[in-house]
Structure 1
Amino acid sequence: MASLVLASGVIAGCGSNNGNKNVEASSSSSPSSSSGASAPAKSGEVVKLKMWGGVPPESGPQAVVDNWNKEHPEIQVEYVRYVNDDEGNLKLDTALMTGQDVDIYVNYTMSQAQKRVESGFSMDLGTFGDYNIDEKMGADAANWKIDGKYYGMPTTMSSYFVALNKDALDAAGLPVPKEWTWDELREYANKLKKGDGYGFIQNTEPYSDPLDSALSKNGYTKADGTSNLDDPLVSKWLETLNAMMYEDKTTPPLGEQLTSKMPVEQMFLSGEVPMLNIGAWLLRSANNFTDYPRDFKIAFAPVPRLMENEADYVTRGGLGDFISINAKSKNTAAAWEFLKWYADGGMAPMAEGGRVPASKDADRDAALKSMLGSKPETYDEASLMYVTFEDATPKFVRSVPQEVVDLRAQEYEKYFLGSQSLEDTLKAMVSRHNDYLKQNAK
């Protein structure tokens, strides 16, 4: 059952800038002409737009569109929620392919964005000449360029972290780390574990980010063009997690977590488990004291590194929520007006769910106040500010092809289930990756 669950892609595409020829690293891009955009609506005619995104409406998007609709009676926006998993992304892709009403949509990984660009469903925003994405969003925006162009706009400051029960850390005499390794996290998990409980759990979305962190630095392929999925750091990640699952018993076996659909956010916010690997979306639950009441303070630490040398570390983050305009939309001009407004501050209600505006013209102070919710005293503000704004560790954006994500996940799952040795797992990942590289050679 676990094999079927994982094969269906529960662990979503993880990645980095991995030498993909379609990803342009340069930050220089100036929008050009406005040709190609749809004509604006006639005077008195109401334009109706549909925006698809993965965040629940009540966690900010509905307030955003309500604010816009009140201020802009001539352009009315409806928010459509799709769940950001394989099934939800398929729902969005099907809507795009079948010509359903999709005017604006949010991409959460580079692999998804690139696939939609290749299918012709993303408009080149360079066709508009009144907004400079590089200037507004900063140098990190360039990580989202495809073939040197912006087929969407990154809108949030994206952060991933280990959320910590600070009360539990204080009781154990453990400081909040500003930098640490997976070996050190393993020690924390052992010290924080109580009885038969776990010391550390992970959301499945960033589960395999450590692989991409290591390979974004060391390369997904070797000098001869063959797979590097047997990199020593890949082996270290596998061995470390396996030991935490079965020797220390400080983290749940992957198969058990997937088949039981383990509610990791609830387990952390209830105080059951003291450490959780997740992203900034945790805040939308952490600020919800009705459904997730808690009496402890949450602190935040960077995701640990596999390598010993901190200078070699690259972590996931930078900018996110890459919003595209459907190239097939009949209302691209109106969609562009909404997108500019959204990016430059209209998205402020999203901050309570951890989505801080990336634009330099957005009101950051208001966003931060919203992010801390109605009970700011329940957060260790210094550590939250550190992982969100101050951590200078270089960042990567997911861009690994989904096929590679799936094939490696299918193999390392066998290792975590005990049905395949470490050596055979590494060999299988390399062999299948090499086959993929040959089939997709240009």
Structure 2
Amino acid sequence: MKMSKGWSIAASVLLTATVLAGCGGGGGTNTGSGTAGNAPAGNAGTNPASQKAVKLKFWGGVPAEAGPQAVVDAWNAKNPDIQVEYVRFVNDDNGNLKLDTALMAGQDADLYVNYQLSRLKKRADAGLAVDLGTFKDYNIDEKMGPDAKQWLVNDKYYGMPTKKNMSFVWLNKDMLDAAGLPLPPLDWSWEELQVYSAKLKKDKVWGTVIHEAANTTQFDGTIASLGAVKSDGTSNFNNPLWQQGFEIWHTMMHKDKTTPTYGEQFTSKMSVDTMFLKGEAAMLGAGEFVFRNANNTKDFPRSFKIAFATWPKISKDQKDFKYPGGLGDVISINAKSANKEAAWKFLKWYADGGMLPMASGGRIPSSKEVNSDEAIKLMLQGVENMYDQESLKKVVFGNFPTYQLDIDQQVLDARKEEFEKYFLNKQDIAATLKNMEKRHNDFIKQSKK
């Protein structure tokens, strides 16, 4: 499902870029073929003349107290010559714009985490990510396994996947039991989730809430199997499954009232994961990042047990649906960084076990150098009885056909603008799908010029 890779990140940061006039050019190297590493083992990134420690800034979307600070503290204690500062950005449009601005400045971001393939592609196209194939002492394919290839951009690694991606439906098991509902089957549908949501809705309890990071998952998993572009080279966005999915969600918002309306959720900036942990929602669509709060029973006390279900496909009869998963937390080195060797040394250490303090928040390392059982034990330590173990094993650590959505960010932004109008009742579903299709086709034509 490859699409044009020529669209530059510069378009999305044009206004901010103008205030950065005078920044150095620079760009990523362009050799190598998917292996990585050539940093000297003992003094990578040091400055013999001054003997001052190299200082790196590492940008990520996880709150510092949820693991990243412990990671950099452990590194800094053992590496006085390379000191790392963690900088947190919120993984939304505004937060990514802030990161992109820092990357273009070339002074405030040496390493950074990409959470979507579309954003990695933009940054690579703009020369803001080093081709890790220029390093020769680390084989990403060998260390991370075949799913790493989903993050290739022009057949090169401009970032290293570091964790196992997991996204699913979180269930309040006590509420399910009280409603007489069994755990959903592994192969369930959006239609069935709608029924569950209606039966679980109560006064001051939503049937379902969906985290912003996951609110297009059923549509993405569908287009990943259908293909974003049809055999004739035109957009496949105006398809019956998307129509069915959008209509079900719209009904849940405005007729069933089992989930917050789009406007209500995003205008008020609802913290839906916190709502779920407080018992204000019976089901939550989100990723493994919720473990960082679900495991923190001091700040997020709860008495109910959590169970898990796979992400539902749109229709029960749908074939070849793909699930959110594979690998994630793809860390890149800024091509404008003055300390690429030092950054590479830190990145290898992080991937091969340095990131273990993140496991308690659900981030299971993907490197074969890390014992997965040890990481899972750390993730559940002290809270084992707070989860339904059978569904956790089947869903959270199950094997399913996965995807990384290979669609340009400009197209995803246009899609979002259109479905927001539908959910806000500013246009009907027919116009929504037609506009998505047209804007996608316009982009396809423009990319061929």
TM-score scaled by structure 1? 0.90
Q: Which sections of structure 2, spanning at least 5 residues, go unmatched? A: 7-31
Shift of 1:290: 2.7
1:196-216 CA deviation, whole Å, 9 max, x = no partner?
642111111110121111111
**SS of residue paired to 2:212:** coil
Which residue is 1:72 aligned to?
79
Contact 2:60 2:88 in 1 (8 A): yes
Taking the aligned partners of 2:85 and 2:37, their CA distance within structure 1 comes to: 28
Shift of 1:83: 1.1
Taking the aligned partners of 2:331 and 2:120, their CA distance within structure 1 comes to: 9
Amino acid at match of 2:252: M
Which residue is 1:220 aligned to?
228
Shift of 1:147: 1.0
Shift of 1:218: 0.9
Which residue is 1:369 aligned to?
377
Mapped pair 1:122 → 2:126: no
Taking the aligned partners of 1:32 and 1:52, their CA distance within structure 2 comes to: 21
1:377-425 CA deviation, whole Å, 9 max, x = no partner?
11122322322322x3211113322221222222222222223222222
TM-score scaled by structure 2? 0.89
Which residue is 1:313 aligned to?
321
Contact 1:157 1:388 in 2 (8 A): no
Q: Map 1:178-193 onto structure 2 (within 5 A).
A: 178-193=186-201
Taking the aligned partners of 2:147 and 2:231, their CA distance within structure 1 comes to: 27
Which residue is 1:236 aligned to?
244
Shift of 1:241: 0.7
Amino acid at match of 1:357: P
Contact 2:114 2:332 in 1 (8 A): yes
Taking the aligned partners of 1:33 and 1:65, their CA distance within structure 2 comes to: 20
Which of 389, 394, 404 is residue 397 of structure 1 equivalent to? 404
Q: How many residues align?
A: 420
Shift of 1:46: 2.1
Q: Map 1:31-70 onto structure 2 (within 5 A).
A: 31=35, 34=38, 40-42=45-47, 44-70=51-77
Contact 1:59 1:353 in 2 (8 A): yes
Mapped pair 1:380 → 2:385: no
**SS of residue paired to 1:430:** helix
**SS of residue paired to 1:228:** coil
Which residue is 1:19 aligned to?
2
Taking the aligned partners of 1:130 and 1:92, their CA distance within structure 2 comes to: 28
**SS of residue paired to 1:274:** strand
Mapped pair 1:301 → 2:309: yes
**SS of residue paired to 1:294:** coil
Which residue is 1:102 aligned to?
109
Which residue is 1:340 aligned to?
348
Amino acid at match of 2:128: F
**SS of residue paired to 1:338:** helix
Shift of 1:96: 1.2
Shift of 1:315: 1.2
Describe the shift of the 1:32–1:93 C-alpha distance in structure 2 as closer, same or farther (beyond 3 A). closer
Contact 1:57 1:79 in 2 (8 A): yes
1:50-82 CA deviation, whole Å, 9 max, x = no partner?
111111100000000111111222221111111
Contact 1:141 1:319 in 2 (8 A): yes
Taking the aligned partners of 1:440 and 1:337, their CA distance within structure 2 comes to: 37
Contact 1:103 1:332 in 2 (8 A): yes
**SS of residue paired to 1:153:** coil
Taking the aligned partners of 1:199 and 1:35, their CA distance within structure 2 comes to: 52
Q: Map 1:200-215 onto structure 2 (within 5 A).
A: 200-215=208-223
**SS of residue paired to 2:164:** strand
1:251-302 CA deviation, whole Å, 9 max, x = no partner?
1111111112122112111111110001111111112223221110111111
Contact 1:106 1:323 in 2 (8 A): yes
1:153-184 CA deviation, whole Å, 9 max, x = no partner?
00000100100001111222222222211111
Taking the aligned partners of 1:234 and 1:308, their CA distance within structure 2 comes to: 14
Mapped pair 1:419 → 2:442: no
Taking the aligned partners of 1:132 and 1:247, their CA distance within structure 2 comes to: 52
Describe the shift of the 1:325–1:352 C-alpha distance in structure 2 as closer, same or farther (beyond 3 A). same
**SS of residue paired to 1:83:** coil
Q: Map 1:317-328 onto structure 2 (within 5 A).
A: 317-328=325-336
Amino acid at match of 1:326: N
Taking the aligned partners of 2:378 and 2:349, their CA distance within structure 1 comes to: 19
Taking the aligned partners of 1:427 and 1:163, their CA distance within structure 2 comes to: 33
Amino acid at match of 1:296: F
Amino acid at match of 2:129: S
Q: Percent identity?
A: 53
Mapped pair 1:136 → 2:143: yes
**SS of residue paired to 2:161:** strand
Moved over 3 A (4+): 32-36, 42-45
Q: Map 1:237-316 onto structure 2 (within 5 A).
A: 237-309=245-317, 311-316=319-324
Describe the shift of the 1:384–1:258 C-alpha distance in structure 2 as closer, same or farther (beyond 3 A). same
Computed over aligned residues only, the root mean square deviation of the Cα atoms, in angstroms, reads 2.2
Taking the aligned partners of 2:441 and 2:36, their CA distance within structure 1 comes to: 40
Which residue is 1:428 aligned to?
435
Taking the aligned partners of 1:35 and 1:347, their CA distance within structure 2 comes to: 19
